[in-house]
Structures are given as structure tokens and as C-alpha cells.
Structure 1
Amino acid sequence: MRLTSLRQTVVACCLVALTGTSIVGCSSSGDSASPTTSAAASAATSAAAKSDSTSSAADTKAVTDTYVTFFDGKTPAATRAGLVEKGAAFQQALDGMAVNPQATGTSVTVAEVKLSDTSHADVKYTLLLNGTPVLPDQSGQAVKDAGQWKVAAATFCALLAIQSGGQTTAC
């Protein structure tokens, strides 16, 4: 998964390098690349890397915020439905959790978010009940749906399966 992000960065750098080479190859002088052309290519590479880094940081924050809000037992069911992939299918389960006193004490801490690509991420998290870890070091996923990061349906289904002994209608 990390390789995909690395591969995208390498491809972006190669495209910038190829663009710089094409510009130099089309020049009328027989000299090698001028410092100005090399500096422009270097600046473009740095800008692309900075853009990827900024995007990654923003996506990591968005995924973390989604997980924290979704797993907060005090978040209204309707809001939670908007934060999980295929939320309408889970509405009944989310409504049931909203009135369950034990479920209202849940929260989550996110330890790590690794972007697989622009619309998928792997998430390491710990589910808490009244501040006490009950499911530590879990692996989950997030998906970007219509421009918004959401908890992947598969992640929520895995937790519902634990809660209901594997009998879930939405999954």
C-alpha cells in the first residue's frame, strides 16, 4: 500500500524530470541544461513533493477526524451515517447504538493513517469504552466517497460482527 504512494511520487518526479529534459532537448544551443532550467525543474519537483505532502497531511487529518467523530458514541446516528461508507444501510444499527447507554460511552484513538492511494487509507486505531481500551490496535480502512473520507463499510461490519456474533443484516 505504501508502495502505491511511493510509486505515485516517483512517477510525478519522473514526469517533472522528463518535462525538463524535453525543454532542454528542444533548445537551440548545444550546451547542457542551463542553471535556470535545472533550477526550474528542481523547483517544480519540490513543489510537487510539497503538494503531495500537504495533501497527505490534510487527508490524514480528515481520516482521523472522521474516525474520531464516527466512533464517538455521543455523535447523533444521522451524522454517523454520513461518516460511514454505505451509511443508509447501517442506519438501523446506528439508531440502536444511539439509545444504548453502553454504546454512548465509546470513543477511538487513531494511532496511524497510511494512504494507499488518493481514495483509500489503512487506519490503526483503538476502540475505547468510557476511556478504557476494549479493542486495542485494530486495523481498519477509510475510503474517500464523493470527496469525503468515510469509515469503510468493511471496518464497521467487522465491529458489528463482533458485537452481534456475526449476524448483521447490512453487511
Structure 2
Amino acid sequence: MRTLSLRRALVVSGMAAVLVAGVVSCGSDDSSDSAEDGTATTVATATTEADDTTDAGTTDEAGGAADAETTQAVTDAWVAFFDGSTPPETRAGLVENGDEFLPALQGMAADPQATATTATVDGVTSAGDDAAMVSWTLLMNGAPVLPDQSGEALLEDGQWKVSAITFCTLLAIQGDGSEVPGC
């Protein structure tokens, strides 16, 4: 029963993160144009601008575009973690609470579909000094299977990692309902 409640909480949290990221990323410059019938329509244009950076490696304001160094570090961690050919032990070092996920990662290494996955990162947004929101796409054999996803990266001991909630949410979407250690 506790496991079911935990799974539900993880799925709801993951969905909330996706919704929050969607709402945050929709902040934009708005302009109004008049339609032919005289009513006003609003057109939103999303923009990304780099803010002034701090020595911590993220932008001054949470929610702004991450600086180039942070974006590269998060992207490198994300791409390596979701690359199915990366050894499980290496992948465990790229996810929050990786030791707990090692058995699941080892099981994935034996699955031909799981080993065919890769990821691309479309953007990294600062969520504070030690967190970032990641816009990304999961690919299988080079074709998008989960496009336009949102996830969270965390800075632990100087290294950017995929958050446990992001990985657990993905496992819940793709899984068979069985319990995954770490989730």
C-alpha cells in the first residue's frame, strides 16, 4: 500500500513538474493584434536570454537561462545518463541516489530496447544554485519517442545529476507497475 502511495506521489509530482515547467517556459513578450472582426488576439512569443551569471555557475535569478558552463555540464550528464550504451555503474553516478538505482540500471543494460536510447537536451533553465530544469527529448534508435519532456537536474558534490524524481517519473511511464528500488 505504501509503495502504491509513493508511486502515485511520484507520478503526480512528475506531472506537476511538467506543468510548472510548461507554465514557466511560456513567460514571454506579449503583443496584441486586431483581428478582422475588431477583436483583439494575443500572440505570445517565448524568448530565452542569458542573464548575468554568478560564480556558482547559474544565473542570478532562478528561472533564467543557465550560463554556458552549467548548460554544458547538465547536458553532458543528461546525455550520458540516458545513453543506453553507458555502463550501469557510470549511469548510477549520474543520477541522484544512484546506488539505489543500480539494480534497475543493470537490468536495463540487458534490454535491447533500453540500450537503444539516447537523449537530446533542448534547454537548461536555472532553478537556483543547485538545481536546474531541463527540456529534453528521449530517442530510440535516433527517433524521438518522448519529445518535449521536462526534468530536473541537481548539483551534488560539484556534479550535475538527473534527479531521482525525473528518473522515477520516466520509469513509471514506461514501466510495468513493478516496484523499482529508489522510487
Q: TM-score, normalised by structure 1?
A: 0.68
- Is this contact kept in 1: 2:132–2:153, CA < 8 A? yes
Q: Which stretch of the first structure deviates more once superposed, 104-113 or 52-61?
A: 52-61
Equivalent residue for 1:156? 167
Going from structure 1 to structure 2, the CA distance change for 1:54 and 1:155 (only over 3 Å counts) comes to closer
How big is the shift at 1:165?
3.5
Which one-letter code corresponds to 2:125 in the other structure? K
Equivalent residue for 2:157? 146
* Mapped pair 1:128 → 2:139: yes
Q: Deviations over 1:131-159 (max 9, x none)?
A: 01000000100000111000000000001
How big is the shift at 1:51?
4.9
Unaligned runs of 5+ in 1: 3-48
- Is this contact kept in 1: 2:137–2:147, CA < 8 A? yes
Which one-letter code corresponds to 1:96 in the other structure? G
The separation in 2 between residues aligned to 1:53 and 1:88, in whole angstroms, is 27
The separation in 1 between residues aligned to 2:174 and 2:158, in whole angstroms, is 30
Equivalent residue for 1:29? none
Equivalent residue for 2:176? 165
User: Which of 61, 68, 80 matches 1:69?
Assistant: 80
Equivalent residue for 1:38? none
Unaligned runs of 5+ in 2: 1-19, 22-51, 59-66
Equivalent residue for 1:107? 118
Q: Deviations over 1:26-80 (max 9, x none)?
A: xxxxxxxxxxxxxxxxxxxxxxx46559752111110000000000110000000
Going from structure 1 to structure 2, the CA distance change for 1:150 and 1:111 (only over 3 Å counts) comes to same
Q: TM-score, normalised by structure 2?
A: 0.64
Rg larger in structure: 1
| 2:135 aligned counterpart, secondary structure | strand
The separation in 2 between residues aligned to 1:136 and 1:50, in whole angstroms, is 29
- Could you tell me the percent identity over the aligned residues? 54
- The alignment covers a number of residue pairs equal to 125
Equivalent residue for 1:9? none
| 1:118 aligned counterpart, secondary structure | coil
Going from structure 1 to structure 2, the CA distance change for 1:83 and 1:54 (only over 3 Å counts) comes to closer
The separation in 2 between residues aligned to 1:50 and 1:107, in whole angstroms, is 30
Going from structure 1 to structure 2, the CA distance change for 1:75 and 1:147 (only over 3 Å counts) comes to same
The separation in 2 between residues aligned to 1:82 and 1:50, in whole angstroms, is 27
| 1:79 aligned counterpart, secondary structure | helix
The separation in 1 between residues aligned to 2:57 and 2:103, in whole angstroms, is 37
In proportion to residue count, which structure has more helix?
Answer: 1
| 1:134 aligned counterpart, secondary structure | strand
In proportion to residue count, which structure has more strand?
Answer: 2
| 1:60 aligned counterpart, secondary structure | helix
